[in-house]
């Protein structure tokens, strides 16, 4: 079964970035109609993979995002309904360390979604701080596939060394790894250019998913060095990053103008051209339309080379997820 389509909508609702977890901060029920419209628009346009996580909630880590996504999927009545694929990530919380804890967590996610999870993913590896914990969690992930509770399994924030070990572990049980999700964009090429993850994924038959393909909005062209800036830590990051990424933004702007596209669409299309599945977020119909505009065309080799060179020469890079392993 094909688990992934070309482009995914991720994280239903308002969000803030905090150590790899996206929470539905500021959510209230008045947003539901808009979010349902976003979901409907995406599925109508062939976007059928939706990524979430059991730690995405209202700040209480109660899986609110899964509940909303399940509801939107049930209430959608248009074409493509049968192709909707819901992926969730199970957090490696300290209190989860047995294989049964992962099975129970996935069953809870399924209950919130109102259906079985299609693609279940390990949200992050514990190798950087508690390597003893990971074995049980991985075994539980594999159990879910063997028990027929999910259609596919994937990983998130794994580097090539850890990925190969897990692949070997799963291969011994005859379980394929469908996807690997990492932070990847023109401002975060590290997983591919330095770790060589794309080559490893290709060798192992794993599809690479690119989260934060717009670098939290830095690649949209909507922010300038003079401000205004987003609130909180994101605003501080933008103040530090924007002066150092002028050449990259200039190249993006030039390519976007020549293509009659937006900088966001060029950034997302670049990820597609690199053989990854980008999962930009959308909390409004306008944002969803913009994301969808990245489909149906391709950057040429010259444009890709220009953007690659601009990205390589950029003074500033996005900070890597603290859970990313080697």
Would you write out the chain's pLDDT as a tens digit for each of its 326 residues?
344 444 444 433 322 221 222 334 344 566 788 999 999 999 999 998 999 999 987 555 567 889 999 999 999 999 999 999 999 999 999 999 999 999 999 999 999 999 999 999 999 999 999 999 999 999 999 999 999 999 999 999 999 999 999 999 999 999 999 999 999 999 999 999 999 999 999 999 999 999 999 999 999 999 988 878 888 888 899 999 999 999 999 999 999 999 999 999 999 999 999 999 999 988 899 999 999 999 999 999 999 999 999 999 998 888 888 899 98
Q: Specify the 3-state DSSP secondary structure of 17.
A: strand
pLDDT on residue 286? 94
- Given the residues 56, 145, 158, 211, select the one marked as catalytic: 56
pLDDT value of residue 48 = 87
- Write out the two tokens for 177: 């790894």
Pick the CATH number of 8-312 from 2.40.50.140, 3.20.20.100, 3.10.580.10, 3.90.1150.10: 3.20.20.100
Q: Which token pair is 183? A: 């932070």
**Around Cβ 261, how many Cβ atoms within 10 Å?**
19
Return the pLDDT at 16: 22
**281 - beta bridge partners?**
10
Specify the pLDDT at position 273.
Answer: 97
Give the Cβ contact number of residue 147 at 10 Å.
10
In this prediction the pTM is 0.90
The domain limits of the chain are: 8-312
pLDDT value of position 59: 54
pLDDT of amino acid 318? 87
**Torsions phi, psi for 123 (to 5 deg):** -65, -40
Pair 111, 105: CB distance under 8 Å: no
3-class SS at 26?
coil
Q: What pLDDT does residue 119 have?
A: 97
**Is the separation of the CB atoms in 102 and 134 below 8 Å?**
no
What is the sign, positive or negative, of the torsion defined by CA atoms of 281, 273, 222, 246? positive
Query: What is the model's pLDDT at position 60?
Result: 57
> How far apart, in whole angstroms, are the C-alpha atoms of residue 192 and residue 99?
31
Please, where are the H alpha helices in 76-130?
99-113
Q: Is 56 a catalytic residue?
A: yes
Distances (CA, A) of 157 to 128, 180, 203, 304: 11, 8, 18, 25
């Amino acid at each position: 079964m094909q688990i992934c389509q070309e482009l995914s909508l991720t994280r239903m609702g308002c969000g803030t970035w905090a150590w790899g977890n996206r929470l539905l901060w500021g959510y209230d029920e008045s947003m539901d109609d808009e979010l349902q419209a976003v979901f409907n628009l995406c599925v109508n346009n062939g976007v059928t993979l939706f990524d979430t996580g059991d730690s995405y909630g209202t700040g209480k880590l109660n899986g609110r995002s899964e509940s909303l996504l399940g509801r939107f999927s049930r209430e959608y009545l248009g074409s493509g309904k049968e192709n909707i694929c819901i992926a969730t990530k199970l957090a490696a919380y300290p209190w989860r360390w047995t294989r049964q804890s992962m099975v129970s967590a996935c069953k809870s996610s399924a209950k919130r979604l109102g259906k079985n999870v299609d693609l279940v993913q390990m949200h992050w590896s514990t190798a950087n701080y508690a390597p003893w914990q990971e074995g049980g969690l991985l075994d539980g992930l594999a159990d879910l596939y063997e028990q027929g509770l999910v259609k596919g399994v994937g990983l998130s924030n794994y580097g090539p060394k850890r990925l190969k070990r897990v692949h070997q572990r799963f291969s011994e049980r005859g379980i394929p790894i469908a996807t690997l999700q990492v932070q990847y964009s023109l401002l975060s090429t590290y997983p591919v250019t330095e770790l060589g993850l794309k080559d490893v994924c290709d060798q192992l038959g794993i599809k690479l998913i690119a989260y934060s393909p717009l670098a939290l909005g830095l690649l949209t062209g909507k922010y300038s060095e003079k401000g205004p800036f987003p609130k909180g830590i994101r605003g501080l990051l933008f103040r530090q990053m924007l002066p150092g990424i002028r050449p990259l933004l200039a190249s993006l702007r030039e390519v976007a103008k020549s293509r009659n596209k937006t900088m966001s669409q060029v950034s997302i299309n670049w990820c597609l051209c690199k053989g990854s599945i980008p999962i930009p977020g959308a909390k409004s119909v306008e944002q969803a339309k913009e994301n969808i505009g990245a489909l149906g065309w391709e950057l040429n080799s010259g444009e890709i080379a220009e953007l690659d060179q601009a990205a390589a020469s950029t003074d500033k890079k996005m900070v890597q997820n603290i859970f990313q392993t080697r």
